[in-house]
Chain A
């Protein structure tokens, strides 16, 4: 888009606007209200609701401002008797078939149609015809549908197609009989619920929140999602200490994700008020005995005494401190401070799937924001599966390609769904991602890499050529498949390939909401990894203090490790595999009950705000750590305030220097951490190590064929999502109940047979 400026006159005032700007946006951004239903920023144009009519001089009729591109000298009127009459007429038509059942509609109170009628509606209805009637029903375990309320703006169908690429919901029939629906009447898709979010009426509704509360009863709290590293901003609606729903409607919150949320963000919040939440601190007085409920004082005293005993008997290094990529920066910082200043041990880590430390050490360019992704020219995706594990990134990639014409290069061992958008898809052998990175970074290794990847060498040079032909932003994304050496190599590519016209940006794809934060705080820089810490349990490690739980991945093959410890202190939301062997269990507050910050994969430090008071006797993680330190005789001086913790954290963490809570308060202007750009490094050792490891790769390994089905990662019932019945239905194949007029949950018994507990549990991001 050119930056040429043109003059537009709206209601007598002159405005200089960018050439190519859309009239409705120009009107709105300059304070001339123009109503609309079907217009939705960054979606295909529909122009079906006809409520955004304006008068443009020299044009014969009233025009829909959503379809008009501004031209020089355009003279526009947005308010006149003629327009008023036209708009009132349109609203009357929209209401011709609308049931006006606002008192029993979940959307009542936050409904765009309702607002439109307040502004433009008539006092009486002139239509006397029978309204179309259709009973309310369910389209899936999480999407409820009331077809008669629909005004056919088709936002849902466009969002489903353009954001999610799924086309699961469409408009069927024609004319007055048009309905929004699906083939077979059952919605089989990733169940993101974005159709619910963008619906301006009560046609598509949240199935988990159906008839639970009215919007005006809810207290809206803007917070950051806890389910993946994208860090979507959302608004938790709570009432009486219970989280009722999570939404991203732009009337409440307007973050990096707009109104986008995925199934987990939108529907997986019921774990917060789940009955299985830990209620009180618990102590196991004798190994092999039961966990006995205790008071906070007793539990902290018990834990402190045992820690002292262990330190006296085996030294401070025998104590390990384990943070979590799921908890806030404040909590992780308190744990690191505990390890360094109270215990004095170097054995600390966080329970992440993979460390980003090599990447950040060699970081050759800044981190991309999600907005950068949307307007990128070239996107290289090495490994990973953003649509399932970082859904917002997946959506941004799709829009960059479809709406922005970006070139996408997918290098993956599986034909992930995004390869349908890709300009080039390099289908490699499983586990060979390192070889692709080596070839991207250094053309000398094309032949070797191509042989090991099972691709043609020309495919690799084509990909490199696309990157080197880019004018504009080139964004490199990578998943957890890369080895540390490959991460370093990838991170250094910008030093060799940046020019004036080409800017490189990175977008790591870690799995957890605060993976980047845990790294920034320094928690990943300890002497051990989570797995090696477990391996050393019972030997040089005698006691562990764990916030959160070890992942099934860490425990696989060393399930007994935790039982060998003299002391295990765990702070958790639920009983898990890790609490099974715990001597002291401390109930922690969930993300909805605590103040703090998460750092997402853009490096944006975003606020988490308490929506409800901590459930039962739970406390925020950083408060527990501070209390334990207090019991051990060390005052952290946090003054019971998360902002104090963050101030200290920001002072001691280079990337966060200068940050304060007041600076982070506005979710529309997120603040990016200042990750240091590493100078050009000599990577000969890494390249040699990579070459050796690549040469040992199996050249005969079978490639994985077939596209993984939609939702295969999203629907896995994990530690938190497993507390939501809907996820069990979806994981069991989303069966359609015989009669979908009643909630599917009433009809399908969630029995043990439906629960998938094998490898499906808690693999990632939940």
Chain B
């Protein structure tokens, strides 16, 4: 299927920036991307027999390009690109803790809270982050640098407790190690998975 395929009337669907969705054919605002990014997306879509199967890789790309989260124009773009409803995007996006539907800080600390990590002191790691940064899980620091979340198992139980920042795992954590990580983040010396 070519990308010029007729759009499956996302105009019928809610878009937060469009108060009169019944009137509009397309959402008033729809994200645009550079040709290189579109090519990257098309390469993912080409891998699957069904277009909408590419929803996860495309979400990561849109998240990367739109400042770390799926903003409404980005969601409208995805619905259009994949030929699904906006609600379908919402459904998938809220299922995965790696996909953010709200703005997050530059560094998103995702502390695993499932069994192995919990037993080996994930609570202490979270508590330490809370004290250091002054934010509870689910919140973002005022300067917009850090967000803190507790997430379900990240599959690194042998090295518990652990957290994920960007696409990287930081394992066998102690409070000292966390301090070091936070310092490196402040110094800008870490990848956050976003350009």
Contact = CB atoms under 8 A, between A and B. Distances in A.
A735 interface: yes
A622 interface: no
Contacts, number: 81
Interface string B83-125: 0111111110011100000000000000000000000000000
Contacts of A287: none
B90 to A, nearest CB: 4
Interface string A152-180: 00000000000000111111111100000
Contacts of B94: 172-174
Given A171-B91, A182-B90, A184-B14, A733 B19 contact: yes
B88 A709 contact: no
A183 B21 contact: no
Contacts of B90: 170, 172, 181-183
A733 B25 contact: no
Nearest to B24: A709
B95 A167 contact: no
Contacts of B85: 166-168
A711 interface: yes
A424 to B, nearest CB: 15
Interface residues of B, number: 29
Contacts of A420: 8
Interface string A180-193: 01111011110000
Given A182-B14, A184-B14, A188-B13, A170 B25 contact: no
B82 interface: no
A733 B22 contact: yes
Contact of A175 (B20, B72, B84, B152): B152
Contact of B9 (A169, A417, A733, A736): A417
Nearest to B91: A170
B4 interface: no
B22 A734 contact: yes
Interface in B13-34: 13-16, 19-23, 25
Interface in A714-746: 715, 730, 733-736
Q: Pick from A170, A171, A711, A735 the residue with the most CB of B within 10 Å.
A: A170
Nearest to B23: A733
B88 A167 contact: yes
B58 to A, nearest CB: 16
Interface in A122-155: none
A710 interface: yes
A712 interface: yes
B75 A183 contact: yes
A641 interface: no
Contacts of B72: 184
Contact of A733 (B20, B75, B96): B20
B16 A710 contact: no
Given A172-B95, A188-B13, A709-B9, A735 B87 contact: no
A710 to B, nearest CB: 4
Interface of A: 166-175, 181-184, 186-189, 415, 417, 420, 706-707, 709-712, 715, 730, 733-736
Given A173-B94, A709-B9, A733-B19, 8 more contacts: A174-B152, A184-B14, A186-B14, A417-B9, A707-B12, A709-B11, A709-B21, A710-B22
26 contacts: A167-B84, A167-B85, A169-B87, A170-B87, A170-B90, A172-B90, A172-B95, A173-B94, A174-B94, A183-B90, A188-B13, A188-B21, A189-B12, A415-B6, A417-B9, A709-B9, A709-B23, A710-B9, A710-B12, A712-B22, A715-B22, A733-B22, A733-B23, A734-B22, A735-B19, A736-B14
